[in-house]
Amino acid sequence: MKVETLPVTQGSYNLKDYEEAYKSFDWKDAEKVFSWAETGKVNMAYEAIDRHAESFRKNKVALFYRDEKRNEKYTFYEMKKWSNRAGNVLKEYGNVEKGDRVFIFMPRSPELYFSVLGAIKLGAIVGPLFEAFMEGAVKDRLEDSEAKVLITTPDLIGRVPVDELPHLKTIFIVGSDVEEAGPFVDFNKKMAEADNDLDIEWVDREDGMILHYTSGSTGRPKGVLHVHNAMIQHYHTARWVLDLQETDIYWCTADPGWVTGTSYGIFGPWLTGTSNVITGGRFKPENWYQTIEDFGITVWYSAPTAFRMLMSAGDELVKKFDLSSLRHILSVGEPLNPEVIRWGMKVFNKRIHDTWWMTETGAHVIANYPCMEIKPGSMGKPFPGIEVAIVDDQGNVLPPNRMGNLAIKKGWPSMMRQIWNNPEKYESYFLPGGWYISGDSAYMDEDGYIWFQGRVDDVIMTSGERVGPFEVESKLLEHPAIAEAGVIGKPDPVRGEIIKAFVALNEGYEPSEELKEEIRQFVKTGLAAHAAPREIEFKDKLPKTRSGKIMRRVLKAWELDLPAGDLSTMED
């Protein structure tokens, strides 16, 4: 089969550099860029902010922030001061110490970023929560992590069941006219009075830094812990994959509630001293193009669903904006369709570069580098210094063009170090021989390009967000009308997949459109809007194994009109 390729992007290095690096790349050398290589004093937030504030980048803009109400910018010097203040506030009023879990549940705003950095400066472990989470999702995460401090807003505090969270001692509210009583502290007021200087807590490279909850196909969401050492990979992937340079204006559209919004919305850009644009508010194609034009975005990192939505907004709209500043565009989170890449060539005259990685990997693992030819539909090649292979279920490496488990050899710098409170779960990711099993299936072609084939498990990727069917099913079962529930991802041209629920009703309930809407609202308000099933189908009974497990693969087969496969374990 003839595979189409697209020519290289004019990046800051060429294929020869890349090939050289590929042969000789050594993570030990890669560490030398950090100040701790000389001083021995480690802290991610110091490397990301303070170090630049003490250099020629002092007055360079670190953060451009814009939403419907605010339009602000902060230099590295100002970011240092504000994050120091945040650190002081957390220490003084929240007694935050090294290792404590500090959760942040609020929409994007400069205060969110000051808080993340301030908490990391204290050696705390930051848990960012997506603003769309509702009470059940918030409670699960605060409970499992035993968070001591929460930073949130007046709009969101109603979703935090404070009385049911004994470990939660202090709640900072970011808003105006905050009433200070019990655990509640007025964040902005304390920030206004706080000191600009802070004693940074120097940590060990293996100390915890960020805790991202993510979904699997079974069980509750799990806390994936990353340590300060991850900065090595954040820095070098920001250099090689994002290709960030001194004069770049970079925009990552992801929220810090998801791993892309921290690794590449905070750490990667700031470790490399890059000007970082952050926007709040809802997705609107006009606003996105306007953002690129107004800030003169040069490097843009987004996701297939967003590109597909822009695509469906039409090519005429693109022409209304001056997007000539763009030099490098990247994508992550779901398969990037060749069609979208072709559209990008047409309207931006630029390639869109796919990248593959996961919450658990902490940073890029596979990418299309600016200097290499792209094969549309392929995720690219492994990052230098990381061993990626396709293995069978026993961990044997498969030859080219054979589909199997996408696996990574244990030991890359930004690998997760723990599943919070769940060592068995952590161990279950690895096969003998040190292979980390991603849960994705793929094959590698003879040129070393990797082609995504699907998830091995039932995890749903909807609009680039990872949703565990179990979490949605559990919520559905809390509804009084529902006796049984099974949830699958149904292919969708824009969102990648949408969530479809099959439900069997309890006696006394009748299927109806109103009931569907009520169920949808129930999940939306109990869990999160993005986790609510867009489609619901009533069934008398759901297919189950004899041990009572819902057989999602049978539901999927029903949905897609496919053979259901081996039914020997199904009950009658």
Smallest gap, in angstroms, from Cβ of residue 496 to ligand 6R9?
A: 9
| 73-92 binders of ligand 6R9 (CB under 6 A) | none
Minimum Å distance from CB 56 to ligand 6R9?
32
Interior/surface letters 432-443, b for 16+ CB within 10 angstroms, e for the rest: eeebbbbbbbbb
Among 214, 272, 291, 463, binds ligand 6R9 (CB under 6 A): 214
Q: Judged by CB under 6 A, does residue 443 bind ligand 6R9?
A: no
Q: Provide the pairing of β-strand 430-431 with 435-444.
A: antiparallel
In SS3 terms, 35-73 reads as: CHHHHCCECHHHHHHHHHHCCCCCCCEEEEEECCCCEEE
The residue within the footprint of ligand 6R9, chosen from 100, 186, 255, 440 (CB under 6 A), is 440
Nearer CB in complex with ligand 6R9: 138/336: 336
Nearer to ligand 6R9 by C-beta: 258 or 435? 258
* Contact present, 126 and 143 (Cβ < 8 Å): no
Tell me the C-alpha to C-alpha distance, in Å, between residue 68 and each of 65, 157, 315, 401. 11, 22, 25, 49
Does 358 help bind ligand 6R9 (rule: CB under 6 A)?
A: yes
Which one, 49 or 259, has the nearer CB to ligand 6R9? 259
Q: Assess 47 for contact with ligand 6R9 (CB under 6 A).
A: no
Least separation in angstroms between residue 241's CB and ligand 6R9 is 12
Asked if residue 170 lies in contact with residue 100, where contact means CB atoms within 8 angstroms, the answer is no
Site for ligand 6R9 in 446-485 (CB under 6 A): 452, 455, 461, 466
Residue 312: name the closest of 542, 121, 493 by CA. Answer: 493
272 contacts ligand 6R9 (rule: CB under 6 A): no
Residue 131 CB, nearest approach to ligand 6R9 (Å): 16
- Residue 147 CA to residue 135 CA, distance in Å, equals 15
Residue 354 interacts with ligand 6R9 (CB under 6 A)? Answer: yes
Q: Which is nearer to ligand 6R9, 87 or 257 (by Cβ)?
A: 257
Do residues 188 and 34 make contact, with C-beta atoms less than 8 angstroms apart?
A: no
Establish if 438 lies at the interface with ligand 6R9 (CB under 6 A).
Answer: yes
Answer for which of 334, 458, 471, 497 binds ligand 6R9 (CB under 6 A) is 334
Beta strands in 106-221 (DSSP E): 125-129, 149-152, 170-173, 184-186, 208-214
Instruction: By CB under 6 A, name the one of 128, 265, 269, 333 that touches ligand 6R9.
Output: 333
Q: Are strands 71-75 and 101-105 parallel, antiparallel or unpaired?
A: unpaired
Residue 305 near ligand 6R9 by CB under 6 A? no
Q: DSSP assignment, residue 467?
A: E
Q: Distance (Å, rounded) from C-alpha 276 to C-alpha 245?
A: 12
* Distance between start and end Cα atoms, the chain: 45
Binding mask 370-409 for ligand 6R9 (x = CB under 6 A): ---------x------------------------------
Site stretch for ligand 6R9 (CB under 6 A), options 242-250, 253-261, 278-286, 469-477: 253-261
Residues that bind ligand 6R9 (CB under 6 A): 214, 258-260, 332-336, 354-359, 379, 438-440, 452, 455, 461, 466
